[in-house]
Amino acid sequence: MKIVVCVKQVPSTNEVRLDPETNTIIRDGKQSVINPFDTYALEEAIRIKEKIQGEVIALSMGIPAAEKILRDAVSVGADSGMLLSDRSFAGADTLATAYTLSLGVKKISEVDLILCGKMAVDGDTAQIGPELAENLKIPHITNVSEIIEINDSEIICRTITETGKRLVKTKTPVLLTVLKDINMPRLPSIDGVINSLDAPVAVENAESLGANKSYIGLSGSPTQVVKTYIPERKNESIEIKGDSETKSEKINSVIKEVI
Ligand SMILES: Cc1cc2nc3c(=O)[nH]c(=O)nc-3n(C[C@H](O)[C@H](O)[C@H](O)COP(=O)(O)OP(=O)(O)OC[C@H]3O[C@@H](n4cnc5c(N)ncnc54)[C@H](O)[C@@H]3O)c2cc1C
- Is the per-residue pLDDT at 28 higher than 70? no
Classified by CATH at the fold level, domain 2-215 comes out as Rossmann fold (3.40.50)
* 254 band by pLDDT with thresholds 50, 70 and 90: confident
The span from the CA of 99 to the CA of 210, in Å, is 12
Share of the chain above pLDDT 90, in %: 78
Residue 106 exposed, middle or buried by CB count within 10 Å (0-12, 13-18, 19+): middle
- Among the listed residues 60, 65, 71, 53, the one whose alpha carbon sits nearest the alpha carbon of residue 35: 60
The alpha-helical segments, DSSP class H, found in the chain are 36-52, 67-76, 94-108, 128-136, 190-198, 206-209, 244-258
At residue 231, the pLDDT reads 79
- Ligand 1 in reach of 123 Cβ (< 6 A): yes
- Ligand 1 in reach of 125 Cβ (< 6 A): yes
Please state the rounded mean pLDDT for residues 156-168. 96
The span from the CA of 72 to the CA of 47, in Å, is 17
Q: Kindly report the pTM of this predicted structure.
A: 0.87
The amino acid at 246:
T
- Ligand 1 in reach of 97 Cβ (< 6 A): yes
> How far lies 235's CA from each of 11, 82, 230, 243, 258, in Å?
26, 46, 15, 26, 13
Per the CB < 8 A criterion, the answer to whether 105 and 136 are in contact is yes
- Ligand 1 in reach of 52 Cβ (< 6 A): no
CA–centroid distance, 26 to ligand 1, in Å, is 13
Strand partners, 149: 156
Kindly report the protein residue whose alpha carbon is nearest to atom 36 of ligand 1.
8
Site to substitute for ligand 1 among 4, 24, 226, most atoms within 8 A of C-beta: 24
* 30 band by pLDDT with thresholds 50, 70 and 90: low
Residue 195 exposed, middle or buried by CB count within 10 Å (0-12, 13-18, 19+): middle
- Ligand 1 in reach of 126 Cβ (< 6 A): yes
249 or 258, greater pLDDT: 249
Task: Report the range of poorest mean pLDDT among 4-18, 131-145, 194-208.
Answer: 4-18
CA–centroid distance, 198 to ligand 1, in Å, is 28
Could you read off the pLDDT of 80-138 as tens digits, one per residue?
Answer: 999 999 999 999 999 999 999 999 999 999 999 999 999 999 888 999 999 999 999 99
Could you read off the pLDDT of 39-90 as tens digits, one per residue?
Answer: 999 999 999 999 999 999 999 999 999 999 999 999 999 999 999 999 999 9
At residue 226, the pLDDT reads 83
At residue 31, the pLDDT reads 66
